[in-house]
Structure 1
Amino acid sequence: MVRDLRTLAHTHFDLLVVGAGIYGAAIAWDATQRGLSVALIDRGDFGGGTSANSMKTVHGGVRALQTGSLAELRLFVRERRALSRIAPHLVHPLPFIIPTYGELTRSRLIMRAAFEFYDLLARDRNNSLDRSLHLPPSRLVSRKECIALNPAIAPEGITGGIVWHDCQMHNADRVVLSFVMSAVAIGAVASNYVEATGWLRDGDRVVGVKVADRLNGNSFDIRATLVVNAAGPWGEALNATLSQATSSSRPPGFSKAMNLVTRSITQDHALGGLAGSRYLFVAPWHGVSVVGTSEDPFDGQADSLRVRETDVSAFLREVNRAFPAVGLRLDDVRLVHRGLLPTADHSGRLLLKQSVVRDHRADGAPGLMSVIGVRYTTARGTAERATDTAFSILGRTPPACRTTDIPLLGGDIPNMAAFVAEATEETADAVDALTGKRLACSYGSRYHDVVQTMKDDPSLVAPLSDSCPITRGEILHAVRHEMAVRLADAVLRRTEAGSAGHPGRAAMVEAARVMGAEIGWTDDRREREVEHAEQDYRLDP
C-alpha cells in the first residue's frame, strides 16, 4: 500500500470519503466490497485523530442495561461479534469485574438479575465464532473473590461482584489500518496526509474536493459523484464553507475525552470502580493499564484541543476516588489519548448515543453526505447504513453487505489459539517466541510478509533497543507496505513500539534511522521526525 496521488487526481470516483478514522475506513471497505470505486483521504495519518483515543474495548452493550435500551444492547452484541469474526487476531475476550453493594440498585440480587437478563439477550454472542474467542456467561462472585480480583477499590460496603466478558483490541490502530488496507487490496485508493481544503461545485452540486498534500504543500482536485464527510470534529468546519443548511448534521456540542496509559495496575481483569455515581475502568493492555474515560465539555475548534497537566491531574483525582488502593500520580502516566466526542446537548455533557448519516440533498448540497460516529464498536454497522444511503443517492440497487462475515486482511483464521501456536513454531528459526506471537497477533495471516523481510536481511531481526523489543523489520515493513511516511506513523500506529508509552530515545532514533534509510531522509530530517514523534508524549503547555 503506497501513496498514489496521481491516481487520486486523475480518476473520477463513485465515492470519496474524507476522514480515515474508524468510521471512514469502515465505509471505504464496505463501499469497495459492494462494487463502488472509492477514494479515501485523511488530513493526518489513518486513525490518527479521534480514533486514536480509545480504551481498546469492543463493547457488548452492558451499559445499555442502565437505560433499558434493548435495541442499543442488541446492536452492540452484533457488532462486537462481527469484529471478533472479521479480525480475530486483533480482538480477544477480556473479563471485567465490578463490585456489588448493599443499596438496592447495586445489590447482588439486582445485579445478578440484570446480568442474567443481559446473557439472555446476548445468547447469540458466540454464533459462528472461533471457539477460542467465545465469551462465557456472567457470574456472581463472593465479596472475598471480588476483593481478590479487584483490589484497587475500597473494600468498605462491598457485598460481592459481577464478572462478565467483553472484548479488547490487541491493537486498535491496526484495526483501523486493516479496514483501510482491506479496501485498498480490492481496488480503493487511499492516502494519508491529504487534507480537504474546499469544495468542487457544479452549480449547487458537490462534485469533489480541493485538497493539499500536507507533506509537500502541493494542491490538486479529487472528483467524485458523491462525497462523504467522515472527518469527525473537523467535518463541521469543512461543511460550514458550503452553506448554513449543511450544519444540520452538526452535533449540538462536543466533549473532550481522555484515556490514560499508566503503569500496570491489573494483570488479568478489567476493573470497574465508582467515582461518585459514574463507573471508571482500568484495563490491562500490553504490560500497562488503560484508564478511562474522562469527559468534559469542550467549546472551540477541533485544532484547538489541548490537554494540559492540570487536566490530567484533575482526572487522576477522580481515578483515585474510584481506585483508592492504586494511588496513581502524574509520573505514572505514560501516554495520554485525547479526542472530541459528539454530544446530544449544547453543554457538552450528554454524549450522542446514535451515529448520524445525513444526505445533504435536503440541505441544498446534492452530492454530499455526512457521517458522525459515536462508538468505535458500531463503526462497521454505521458504515453499512452509510453505504446503503450512498447507493440510494447514486440511484443504484445496493448489493448485500458482507462485512459482517468477510475477514479483514490477515483475519482469515479459523482457530486463533491454534494459529498463534503454529505461527510461533513456524517463526522459531527467525525470531524468538514472544516476537513470533506478537507478529501473529498484529498481522494475522499476513505475518509471513514481515518474517520474510527479516529473512531477506537478518539485521532486521534486531530490536530497536535493549528496552524496546519491536524489530527493525517491523518498522521497515510499515514503510514499504503500510504507508508509514512519518516516524510517529510507524512508532505509534503501525507497531507497538510506542503505543504503550515512550519507547525510549534510543528506540526512536533507531526507528528513524531505519525509516530514513528507506525513504531518503537527511540527518536533519531524522532529528525533526524524532522531535515530532516526541510531541505525542508531552502534555500541552
Structure 2
Amino acid sequence: MGNSSSQYLNRESALRKLKENAKWDIIIIGGGATGLGVALDASSRGFKTLLLERGDFANGTSSRSTKLAHGGVRYLAQGNIALVKEALKERGLMLKNAPHLVHLLPFVIPSYKWWEKFYYGIGLKIYDWMAQHFRIGKTELINNKKVRSLFDNLNLKGLNGGVIYYDGQFDDARLALNIAQTSVEHDAVLLNYFEVSDLIKSDGKVVGVIAKDLENNEIFEINANVVINATGVFADSILALDHKTAKPIIKVSQGIHLVLRKEFLPSSDALMIPKTSDGRVLFAVPWKDHLLVGTTDTPMKVPTTQPKALEEEIQFILKTLKSYLVVPPTIDDVLSVFAGLRPLVVPRDTDKGTKEISRDHKLIIDKTNLITITGGKWTTYRKMAEDTVDEAIQVGNLPEIKCKTEDLKIHGFTETKDIEDHLDIYGSDATQIRNLVNEDIRFQQKLHPDFPHILAEVIWFIRYEMARTVEDILARRLRILFLNAKAAIDLAPEIAEILRKELAKDSKWKDQQLADFKSIAANYLPRTPKLTTALNNKITTKLNNHV
C-alpha cells in the first residue's frame, strides 16, 4: 500500500522512537479526548511530545459520551454564558476541521404545556445568536403537524407543538483516533497499553515518569521538561504518586445510555427532553442506524475501568420514555447499555505553590510542576488542550509558540458531503481501506449480517490504528459492542483469530482474549437472557402495529 508508518498509529515505530529519545519536552499521561487534544496541540507547536495510555485510546469516558458536539443548552439555563459561548465556538471548529466525522443534527423539544415552546424557543434563539459566525442552524417554533411528521411513535396527547434547533453529532472514539493520528503526523509519539507507575523527581520537581509496557513488561525511565496528568476520573491516582497524602480532587458521576432499534423513534432528527424527574436533560438520538437514549447522573464512590449500568439507571430511562413514546421499549428491547464516568472536580484548599485556573475544566499546576487537567467535555477538548499547553510552556520554560489548532484539519479530513457507504466515516482513509480489498478479495467479506462492516476494516485497525485487543476493535473501532452487545459477543471469536494471525500470537493468547472480552461484554448486556429471534420478531410486530 505504500503507507508510511509515521503517518499512522504503529506501536513498533512508537516504541523505537521512545527508545531513541533521551528527553521529551512534554509527557502526557492519559489517552482520552483531553490527553490526545494536548498531544495534538503540543506536537503541532513543534514540541517533542510523548503520550502514554494504560489501556486503549479513548477506552474510558471519551468513548462513552452522548456523541454530541454542543454548546450546552442546560448551561445556558444555568446562566453560564461564558461557557456556552466557548463551547459554541468549539462546536463550530469541530464541524470545520473534521467534517467527515462531525455533522449537523436537528433536535426537537416537544411542548406539552402552552408556555414551553415559547420559553425554550426564546432561550434557543439566544443560543443561536451566541454562536455568532459559528452559527449552524436557525431555531424555529413548530406546530403539532410538523412534530407528528418528524416522529412516528411520539406521544401526541397534550402536545401543542415544539421547538427545533441544531447542534452537532460525531463518533467520539473515531474522532479520538483521528486526533491521535493527526498528532503522529506532527511527530508526537503515542503508546497504548503503557502504564505510568511512578513520577521521577529532582529537587522537588517532577522531571519524568517511570512506565511499563504492559505487553512485554519492559520498564522505562523517561525524562521530560513537563509532565501532564490528563487521566480524567483517575487523576487522583497520579496526584497520589506526586504527594502520597494528596487529598482527592475528583468526585465521580456515572451516566448511562441505552441503545434501541431505530424503529422506536424512526427519524433523522433527535428528541430532547429538557427536564427529567432528576433534573437532567434526556436525549433520544439517531446514531449508526440505531437509537441512543441517555443519560443519567448517579454519584459513584470510586472510578472503575469497566463501569456497569445500575438496574435503577436502566429503569429510570425506560420509565421516562414511557411518558413520551406510544410504544415504549422494555428491558427486552435494549440491545446494549453502556456506562461512562464524569470527573467532577472538587475545589481543594490551595496549597502554597499551587494555582487553580477555574473554568468548566480545571487546570491545576502543583508546586512540583505537575500539571493536572480534568473536567470539561468532549466539545471543548481543543480549548482545554490550548490552555494546558500554554501553562506547560510557562512551567517547563519552553519556547513561546502560539496555538495552531483552531485551523488545523483533523486526520481523515474530507469535505465530501455525499455519503456513499459506511466507509466514508474514515474520511480520506476510506480509499486506503478500499485498496486493501483490491489487494485481497477476501477482505471484502462481511463480518456480521446486521452490520455493514467488512474484514478490510479490521485489518486496517490492526495495521494502522494500533488495535491490540478484541475489545479495541469491537468497542471503539467498529462500535458494535456499543450498538448490540449480543452481536459483538457472537463476532468475538472471528475477531480474535484475525488478531492472532496479524499480531503473530498463539492460541493461548487468543483464548485469553476471548475470556477477557466475554467478561467486558457482560457489562453491556442489559441483563443475562439473550435477544432471541422470537423476541426480535415480537418487537418488530409491536412497532409495525403502531405504525
TM range (shorter): 0.7 to 0.9
Partner of 1:534: 518
Alignment of 1:495 onto 2:478: yes
Partner of 1:216: 216
Partner of 1:122: 131
* Residue of structure 2 aligned with 1:483, choices 441, 466, 474: 466
Q: Deviations over 1:245-271 (max 9, x none)?
A: 8648x24x2212212222223231111
In 2, the alpha carbon distance for the partners of 1:63 and 1:229 equals 28
Q: What is the deviation of 1:519?
A: 0.9
**CA 1:155/1:445 → structure 2, altered by over 3 Å: closer, same or farther?**
same
Instruction: Tell me the SS of whatever aligns to 2:110.
Output: strand
Q: Deviations over 1:73-126 (max 9, x none)?
A: 21111110111111110111111001224364x2x3333322222222223125
* Residue of structure 2 aligned with 1:260, choices 258, 261, 271: 258
Unaligned runs of 5+ in 1: 127-134, 347-351, 425-436
Percent identical: 27
Q: How does 1:87-236 map to 2 (within 5 A)?
A: 87-102=98-113, 104=115, 106=116, 108-126=117-135, 135-150=136-151, 154-169=155-170, 171-236=171-236
**CA 1:534/1:86 → structure 2, altered by over 3 Å: closer, same or farther?**
farther
Alignment of 1:40 onto 2:48: no
**CA 1:357/1:327 → structure 2, altered by over 3 Å: closer, same or farther?**
same
Q: What is the deviation of 1:166?
A: 0.7
In 1, the alpha carbon distance for the partners of 2:322 and 2:43 equals 47
In 2, the alpha carbon distance for the partners of 1:338 and 1:406 equals 32
* Residue of structure 2 aligned with 1:356, choices 337, 347, 362: 362
Instruction: Tell me the SS of whatever aligns to 2:223.
Output: strand
Instruction: Tell me the SS of whatever aligns to 1:488.
Output: helix
Q: Deviations over 1:150-179 (max 9, x none)?
A: 45554343322000111111x211100111
**CA 1:326/1:407 → structure 2, altered by over 3 Å: closer, same or farther?**
farther
Give the RMSD, CA atoms, in angstroms. Answer: 2.4
The answer (yes or no) to whether the contact 2:280–2:296 under 8 Å persists in 1 is: no
Partner of 2:284: 282
Letter of the 1:210 counterpart: I
**CA 1:109/1:257 → structure 2, altered by over 3 Å: closer, same or farther?**
closer
TM-score by length of 2: 0.85
**CA 1:373/1:141 → structure 2, altered by over 3 Å: closer, same or farther?**
same
In 2, the alpha carbon distance for the partners of 1:308 and 1:167 equals 26
Q: How many residues are treated as equivalent by the alignment? A: 499
In 2, the alpha carbon distance for the partners of 1:344 and 1:194 equals 26
4+ runs of 1 displaced by more than 6 Å? none
* Residue of structure 2 aligned with 1:2, choices 5, 10, 18: 10
The answer (yes or no) to whether the contact 1:89–1:440 under 8 Å persists in 2 is: yes
Q: What is the deviation of 1:51?
A: 0.9
Q: What is the deviation of 1:384?
A: 0.7
Alignment of 1:517 onto 2:501: yes
Unaligned runs of 5+ in 2: 1-8, 348-357, 528-547
**CA 1:152/1:295 → structure 2, altered by over 3 Å: closer, same or farther?**
farther
In 2, the alpha carbon distance for the partners of 1:220 and 1:103 equals 65
Q: How does 1:324-343 map to 2 (within 5 A)?
A: 324-343=325-344
The answer (yes or no) to whether the contact 2:26–2:224 under 8 Å persists in 1 is: yes
Instruction: Tell me the SS of whatever aligns to 1:339.
Output: strand
Which moves more between the two structures, 484-493 or 152-161?
A: 152-161
Alignment of 1:417 onto 2:417: yes
TM-score by length of 1: 0.86
Partner of 2:545: none
Partner of 2:424: 440
